[in-house]
Each structure stands twice: as structure tokens, then as C-alpha cells.
Amino acid sequence: MTSTAALPLPARTEVAVVGAGPTGLALAVTLAEAGIDFVLLDRQAEGANTSRAAVVHARTLEVLDELDPSGALSADLVGRGVPVSRFAVRDGARPLAAVDFNGLPTAHPYALMVPQYETEAVLLRRLRALGGDVHRPYEVTTVAQDAQGATLTTATGETLRAAHVVGADGMHSAVRAAAGIAFEGGSYGESFVLADVVMDWAPGPREVSLAFGAAGLTVIAPLPGGHYRIVATVAEAPAEPDLAFVRGLLDERVPGQAAVRELVWSSRFRIHHRVADRYRAGRLLLAGDAAHVHSPAGGQGMNTGIQDGHALGSALAAGDLDGYEAARRPVALRVVALTHRMTRVATTRNRALRGVRNTLLPVLARVPALRVRLATELAELNYR
């Protein structure tokens, strides 16, 4: 890839986008397609991101097709990932229910398992094909708006004048802070372990498994190259989970199902469930994790952010910024509610509630309409 560290900031632009993750990249591609002048900034060097997200849902692949009607953009990403058509729910090793994406009314009836850096790579390739790029590394420290526009100042003293500024800069958004927008919600008491491993996994690489258990929620999903992504809630995880820790976790939660041979990468993080009170304050706007954060259950976060970016770019092109918040904030509230319910149902320690859950789920999963409804919700096709 071409380094963009030497790109100087222009004096002014129409739209300044702070944050070049998937949300910011999707927004920038949409603006480039519409012929709107923009500057996309990121505080990190290229390739320095951590790859937390690992699933691209059907609606997001549809958005990629809107960003490139030839279909090459989505085809590029699909070629880098593992399409999975089955989402299985278990209580430990015991199957409870399964959701199939086959038959959904979309050109992409599957969940695509692919590391976040691959999603960013295909979006960046599209952006560069349209003549755009990312200005790095520029850390925005202050944003001051007035009646005519807004001025961004970086940590090294550069300034950029813009008609609009978009915060796609994550949960600790500098743009949201400058806008004075509240970020209401709470935090989960548990920590989350994330690990990529090489292992023998009894269910195989054709499904994503969500394992319930009193010890915590565990998600196991296939990745390219024979790897698996593990996301698990843990009361108090070590800062850097090692191979022995991951093996012990899987032995406890999915006994007899996993034999981990190698730990490729691991991390620990904490999760919040919050939605910004507003998505706009004057000339400052929010998208992605700057506007909403939630549990990783269901793999909704990056997908919702990419869809935010495309919707906001379209709103800027159409001059309908109030319509952006009206369309996208209810989606965030719905996603936060869904993932919160999934997390609480999966991790309840109440023995009676676990019994009811484990009895009802297999019954409900046999109702075709309910299976389709859940698959449609997970695939985010309701948010078209």
C-alpha cells in the first residue's frame, strides 16, 4: 500500500471526516462518488488498527454494491473471507437452536467472516480508485464551529477549515466532545476476551457458534486461513490472554469441542452500551462508534457504522442532514437493545431462567417465521 503520511492538509474543505476506520472510509467513498470535496483524517499510521470486527452482514454487502454497482467491491471482500450461512446457539456443547441465512431476500444470503483490516483494505482501494486517500497521522485535538463552518486543530498545530465535520472517531470521539453531545448508557461489568486461534473445532468452519453459559457468553467464528475468532465475556480477564488461558476457557465453556493448537493474537477490552443523544449539533455530525457502542453479540457494530457512513454521505449529497439522524438513530437504538438482550440472556446466572431459556429456545427455533425474523434482524436487512 502507498504511505499517506506525507499528505499535507489543505487549508479548507467541504467535509472533514475524523477517523478512517470502516465508517469513515464508507463515508469518504460515498462523498467521492457524489463529487463532494472532503478530507479524511486519521491519527494512526496505516495498518496500525486492531482488528476487532470479524463479520460483514448481508445489508453491508448490499451497501458495498451501492458504492460500486459493478459488484467488484463486494466480490473483492467476499474473496477475502469465509461466507457462513448458519448461526448456531448452544448451551455449552449442547445445541439449542440454529438460524439459517439461506433464502433471505438478498444477493448475499450469508454472513461473511473476514478480519476488519480486510474490510478497510477494500474500502481504501475503492477510495483511491476514485481519487481520494487518507491523511495520516493527524490527531484532531480541538474542533470549534461558528455560523459559517468549523475549524479543526491537530496535535501538531495544523488547522483545517470545513463546512461540516463528521466524527467517525470512535467511542472517545473528540468531535462528539466538541459538539457537547451526551453519550447516554452504561457499561458491562465483565471484560471481553478476543482471540484468533488455530484449532480443531467439532462444529467445523461452516457456522458461527454462540455458546451460552453461567461463566459467560462465548462466540466462535471461522476466519480465513483455518483460523477461528473467539469473543468471550470473562469476569476479569488478563491484559494479554495467553494460550493456556484460551484453552482453559474453551474447555470449560464448550467441553470436548475445541483443541487449540496456536494462539495468533489476543486482546482484552471492555464494552459499553451507549447511544448519542443527537447525531448533529450545528455543523458537527456523528457516525459509527462515535454515535453508538454496544455488545459484540450478533456482530452488529462495524456493520451499523458502515451503513451510517453511507447514509450520511448520501444525506450530505442531498442536503438532508436532519433526515440522516431521523433514519439512523432509531437503528442504533434497536441494535443496542437487541445486543443487550442477547448478552443478558446468554450470560444469566439464574438457574431457573437458564432452564426456561434452554427449554424455550429449541421450541421457538422450530417456528419458521421466527427463524426468518431473527435471521433478517441479524443480517440487518430490516434497516434498508
- Three-state SS sequence of 216-245: CCEEEEECHHHEEEEEEEECCCCCCCCHHH
d(C-alpha 206, C-alpha 95), whole Å: 15
Task: Provide the pLDDT for residue 51.
Answer: 64
Task: Provide the pLDDT for residue 368.
Answer: 83
Task: Provide the pLDDT for residue 72.
Answer: 96
How many residues in the chain?
384
- Beta strand 159-167 pairing with 12-18: parallel
For the record, the C-alpha cell of 219 comes out as 462466540
What is the rounded radius of gyration, in angstroms, for the C-alpha atoms of the chain?
A: 21
d(C-alpha 217, C-alpha 149), whole Å: 46
Coil, helix or strand at residue 55:
strand
Instruction: Judge contact between 80 and 65, C-beta under 8 A.
Output: no
Q: Which of 193, 54, 42, 200 is nearest to 124 (CA)?
A: 42
For the record, the C-alpha cell of 86 comes out as 448458519
Task: Provide the pLDDT for residue 1.
Answer: 36
Task: Provide the pLDDT for residue 104.
Answer: 93
As a three-state string, the secondary structure of 170-218 is: CCCCHHHHHHCCCEEEEEEEEEEEEEEEEEEECCCCCEEEEEECCCCCE
Residues β-bridged to residue 154: 140
d(C-alpha 222, C-alpha 79), whole Å: 15
Residues β-bridged to residue 150: 145, 162
Angle CA 324–325–326, to nearest 5: 90
Coil, helix or strand at residue 118:
helix
d(C-alpha 374, C-alpha 86), whole Å: 12
> Tens place of pLDDT for every residue, the chain, 384 residues?
334 445 899 999 999 999 999 999 999 999 999 999 999 999 988 766 566 889 999 999 999 999 999 999 999 999 999 999 999 988 888 888 888 999 899 999 999 999 999 999 999 999 999 999 999 999 999 999 999 999 999 999 999 999 999 999 999 999 999 999 999 998 877 788 999 999 999 999 999 998 888 788 899 999 999 999 999 988 888 989 999 999 999 999 999 999 999 999 999 988 888 999 999 999 999 999 999 998 877 778 899 999 999 999 999 999 999 999 999 999 999 988 888 777 777 777 777 887 788 787 777 778 888 888 888 888 889 888
Task: Provide the pLDDT for residue 318.
Answer: 97
Q: Per-residue b/e over 43-69, b at no fewer than 16 CB within 10 Å?
A: bbebeeeebbbbbbbbbbbbbbbebbe
Task: Provide the pLDDT for residue 3.
Answer: 40
Task: Provide the pLDDT for residue 303.
Answer: 94
Whether the CA torsion 150, 154, 157, 158 is positive or negative: it is negative
d(C-alpha 274, C-alpha 228), whole Å: 28
DSSP 134-179: -B-S--EEEEEE-SS-EEEEETTS-EEEEEEEEE-S-TT-HHHHHH
d(C-alpha 306, C-alpha 64), whole Å: 9
What is the helix, strand, coil percentage profile of the chain, to 5?
35, 30, 35
Task: Provide the pLDDT for residue 235.
Answer: 83
d(C-alpha 144, C-alpha 165), whole Å: 10
